[in-house]
Chains A and B, each alone.
Chain A
Amino acid sequence: MSALAAPSHSLSGLGEDAILIEPIIRTTARFYLFTGFLLSFVLLGVVAYVHQYRSGLGVTGLNRPVYWGVYITNFVFFIGISHAGTLISAILRIVGAEWRRTITRSAEVITVMVLLFGVGSILIDLGRPDRMLNVVKHAHLQSPLLWDVCSISVYLTCSTIYLYLPLIPDIAILRDHTSKRRWLYRTLALGWKGTPRQYRVLETLMAVMAVLVIPVAISVHTVVSFVFAMTIQPMWHSAIFGPFFVVGAIFSGIAALICAMALIRWGYGLGAYLKPIHFNNLGLLLLVMSLLWLYFTASEFLTTFYGHEPSHMAVFNAKFYGPYAPHFWTMCLTCFVIPFVILCNRKTRTIAGTVVASISVNIGMYLERYIIVVPSLSNPRLPHEPAVYGPTWVEWGIFSGCFAAFVLAYALFTKFFPIVSIWEVKEGREKAVAEVSGRIRQYLPASPDTPEVEPDDEHGTTTPMVEVAGV
Chain B
Amino acid sequence: MEFTRREFLIAGGVSGALAAQGWAVPQVIYAGAREGQADPLERTVMTLCRQCSGGCGLKVRVIRDCVVGIAGNPIHPINRGGVCPGAPAAVQSLYNPDRLTQPLVLAGPKGAGRYQPVSWTEAVRQLAARLRDLRRTTGPHGLAVITRGDRGLKRLLLERFLQAYGSNNLIDGAAPDAHQAYPAIRAVQGFPRAVGYDLAQTRYVLSFGSQWLDAHWSPAQAGATFAALRGRDQDDRRRFVHVEPRLSLTAAKADEWIPARPGTEGALALGLAHVIVREGLYDRAFVERMTDGFEDPDGGRGGRIGFRRLVLRDYAPSRVSRITGVEEGTIFRLAREFTAQRPALAIGYDGASVSTQRTYDRMAIHALNALVGSIDVAGGVTHFRDIELLNLPVPEPDGPAEAGLSKPRIDVADPSVYPLADCPTGMLAERILADLPYPIEVLVLAGGNPVFDSPHPQRVQQALGKVPLVVSLSSWMDDSARWADLIIPDAHSLSSWDVDLSHTLTGRPVVTTARPVVPASAEARGSAELILELARELGDPVSRALPFPTAQAAVRAVCDTLAASGRGGAFGPLEQEGWIRLLERGGWRPPAARSQDEFYTKVIAAGGWSDPIYYDREWDRVFRSPPRRFAFHSALIAQHVKPRNEADDVRCLPHYQAHESGEPNEAFPYRLYVYPLAVLAGMKDVNIPWLMDASGRLMRQRWNTWVEINPRTAHKLDIADGDVVTVASSRGTLRLHAKLFEGIMPEVLAIPYGFGHEGGGRWCEKIGQNPATLVDVEIDPLTGGPLWNSTRVALRKT
Q: Please list the residues of chain A having a beta carbon within 8 angstroms of any beta carbon in chain B.
A: 383-386
Bound-complex Cα distance A384 to B701 (A)? 10
8 contacts between A and B (CB under 8 A): A383-B700, A384-B700, A385-B700, A385-B701, A385-B702, A386-B700, A386-B721, A386-B722
Bound-complex Cα distance A385 to B702 (A)? 8
Q: Hey, what's the 0/1 contact readout for B706-731 against A, CB within 8 Å counting as 1?
A: 00000000000000011000000000
B722: chain A residues within 8 A (beta carbon): 386
Bound-complex Cα distance A384 to B700 (A)? 7
B721: chain A residues within 8 A (beta carbon): 386
Q: How many residues of B contact A (CB 8 A)?
A: 5
Bound-complex Cα distance A384 to B697 (A)? 9
* Chain B residue nearest to A383 in the complex (CB): B700
* Chain B residue nearest to A386 in the complex (CB): B722
Bound-complex Cα distance A386 to B702 (A)? 10
B700: chain A residues within 8 A (beta carbon): 383-386
A386: chain B residues within 8 A (beta carbon): 700, 721-722
A383: chain B residues within 8 A (beta carbon): 700
Q: Hey, what's the 0/1 contact readout for B149-190 against A, CB within 8 Å counting as 1?
A: 000000000000000000000000000000000000000000
Q: Hey, what's the 0/1 contact readout for B678-714 against A, CB within 8 Å counting as 1?
A: 0000000000000000000000111000000000000
A384: chain B residues within 8 A (beta carbon): 700
Distance in Å: Cβ of B646 to nearest Cβ of chain A: 55
Closest 3 CB pairs of A and B: A385-B700, A385-B702, A386-B722
Distance in Å: Cβ of B364 to nearest Cβ of chain A: 39
* Chain B residue nearest to A138 in the complex (CB): B22
Distance in Å: Cβ of A324 to nearest Cβ of chain B: 16
B701: chain A residues within 8 A (beta carbon): 385
Query: With contacts defined as CB atoms under 8 Å apart, how many contacts are there between chain A and chain B in the complex?
Result: 8
Besides A386-B721, A386-B722, 6 other CB < 8 A contacts?
A383-B700, A384-B700, A385-B700, A385-B701, A385-B702, A386-B700
* Chain A residue nearest to B722 in the complex (CB): A386
* Chain A residue nearest to B721 in the complex (CB): A386
Distance in Å: Cβ of B738 to nearest Cβ of chain A: 12
Bound-complex Cα distance A297 to B475 (A)? 61
Bound-complex Cα distance A383 to B721 (A)? 15
* Chain B residue nearest to A384 in the complex (CB): B700
Bound-complex Cα distance A36 to B701 (A)? 47
Distance in Å: Cβ of A384 to nearest Cβ of chain B: 7
Bound-complex Cα distance A385 to B721 (A)? 12
* Chain B residue nearest to A388 in the complex (CB): B722
Distance in Å: Cβ of B21 to nearest Cβ of chain A: 14
Bound-complex Cα distance A386 to B739 (A)? 11
Distance in Å: Cβ of A379 to nearest Cβ of chain B: 14
Distance in Å: Cβ of A419 to nearest Cβ of chain B: 50
Bound-complex Cα distance A385 to B694 (A)? 13
Bound-complex Cα distance A386 to B701 (A)? 9
Bound-complex Cα distance A386 to B700 (A)? 8
* Chain B residue nearest to A385 in the complex (CB): B700
Bound-complex Cα distance A375 to B747 (A)? 35
Distance in Å: Cβ of A444 to nearest Cβ of chain B: 68
Distance in Å: Cβ of A389 to nearest Cβ of chain B: 15
Distance in Å: Cβ of A435 to nearest Cβ of chain B: 63
Distance in Å: Cβ of A128 to nearest Cβ of chain B: 12
Distance in Å: Cβ of A385 to nearest Cβ of chain B: 4
Bound-complex Cα distance A258 to B97 (A)? 60
Complex interface residues of chain B between 581 and 614 (CB less than 8 A to chain A): none
A385: chain B residues within 8 A (beta carbon): 700-702
Bound-complex Cα distance A385 to B701 (A)? 7
Distance in Å: Cβ of A372 to nearest Cβ of chain B: 25
* Chain A residue nearest to B697 in the complex (CB): A385
* Chain A residue nearest to B22 in the complex (CB): A138
Distance in Å: Cβ of A310 to nearest Cβ of chain B: 18
Distance in Å: Cβ of A46 to nearest Cβ of chain B: 30
B702: chain A residues within 8 A (beta carbon): 385
Distance in Å: Cβ of B549 to nearest Cβ of chain A: 53
Distance in Å: Cβ of B356 to nearest Cβ of chain A: 28
Bound-complex Cα distance A244 to B702 (A)? 38
Complex interface residues of chain B between 461 and 511 (CB less than 8 A to chain A): none
Bound-complex Cα distance A384 to B721 (A)? 14
Q: Which residue, A383, A384, A385, has most C-beta atoms of chain B within 10 A? A: A385
Bound-complex Cα distance A21 to B740 (A)? 67
Distance in Å: Cβ of B218 to nearest Cβ of chain A: 30
Distance in Å: Cβ of B473 to nearest Cβ of chain A: 38
Distance in Å: Cβ of B697 to nearest Cβ of chain A: 8
Bound-complex Cα distance A466 to B37 (A)? 88
Distance in Å: Cβ of A346 to nearest Cβ of chain B: 47
Distance in Å: Cβ of B670 to nearest Cβ of chain A: 24
Distance in Å: Cβ of A322 to nearest Cβ of chain B: 12
* Chain A residue nearest to B699 in the complex (CB): A385
Bound-complex Cα distance A383 to B702 (A)? 15
Distance in Å: Cβ of B532 to nearest Cβ of chain A: 49
Q: Hey, what's the 0/1 contact readout for B439-470 against A, CB within 8 Å counting as 1?
A: 00000000000000000000000000000000
Distance in Å: Cβ of A11 to nearest Cβ of chain B: 62
Distance in Å: Cβ of B354 to nearest Cβ of chain A: 25
Complex interface residues of chain B between 100 and 122 (CB less than 8 A to chain A): none
Distance in Å: Cβ of A138 to nearest Cβ of chain B: 9
Distance in Å: Cβ of A174 to nearest Cβ of chain B: 52
Bound-complex Cα distance A81 to B622 (A)? 83
Complex interface residues of chain B between 71 and 130 (CB less than 8 A to chain A): none
Distance in Å: Cβ of A61 to nearest Cβ of chain B: 15
Bound-complex Cα distance A386 to B722 (A)? 9
Distance in Å: Cβ of B85 to nearest Cβ of chain A: 18
Distance in Å: Cβ of B695 to nearest Cβ of chain A: 13
Complex interface residues of chain B between 714 and 760 (CB less than 8 A to chain A): 721-722
Bound-complex Cα distance A386 to B699 (A)? 11
Distance in Å: Cβ of B94 to nearest Cβ of chain A: 27
Distance in Å: Cβ of B459 to nearest Cβ of chain A: 36
Bound-complex Cα distance A102 to B701 (A)? 59
Bound-complex Cα distance A383 to B700 (A)? 9
Bound-complex Cα distance A384 to B722 (A)? 14
Distance in Å: Cβ of A358 to nearest Cβ of chain B: 38
Distance in Å: Cβ of A457 to nearest Cβ of chain B: 60
Distance in Å: Cβ of A194 to nearest Cβ of chain B: 57
Distance in Å: Cβ of A382 to nearest Cβ of chain B: 11
Distance in Å: Cβ of A224 to nearest Cβ of chain B: 30
Bound-complex Cα distance A383 to B697 (A)? 11
Distance in Å: Cβ of B279 to nearest Cβ of chain A: 44
Bound-complex Cα distance A392 to B702 (A)? 20
Distance in Å: Cβ of A344 to nearest Cβ of chain B: 40
Distance in Å: Cβ of A139 to nearest Cβ of chain B: 15
Bound-complex Cα distance A267 to B701 (A)? 54
Q: Which residue, A383, A384, A386, has most C-beta atoms of chain B within 10 A? A: A386
Bound-complex Cα distance A385 to B698 (A)? 10
Bound-complex Cα distance A71 to B701 (A)? 28
Bound-complex Cα distance A383 to B698 (A)? 11
Bound-complex Cα distance A384 to B696 (A)? 12
Distance in Å: Cβ of B620 to nearest Cβ of chain A: 54
Bound-complex Cα distance A83 to B492 (A)? 65
Bound-complex Cα distance A384 to B702 (A)? 11
Distance in Å: Cβ of B711 to nearest Cβ of chain A: 16
Distance in Å: Cβ of B489 to nearest Cβ of chain A: 33
Distance in Å: Cβ of A355 to nearest Cβ of chain B: 41
Distance in Å: Cβ of A65 to nearest Cβ of chain B: 13
* Chain A residue nearest to B701 in the complex (CB): A385
* Chain A residue nearest to B696 in the complex (CB): A385
Complex interface residues of chain B between 392 and 421 (CB less than 8 A to chain A): none
Bound-complex Cα distance A283 to B722 (A)? 45
Bound-complex Cα distance A426 to B603 (A)? 102
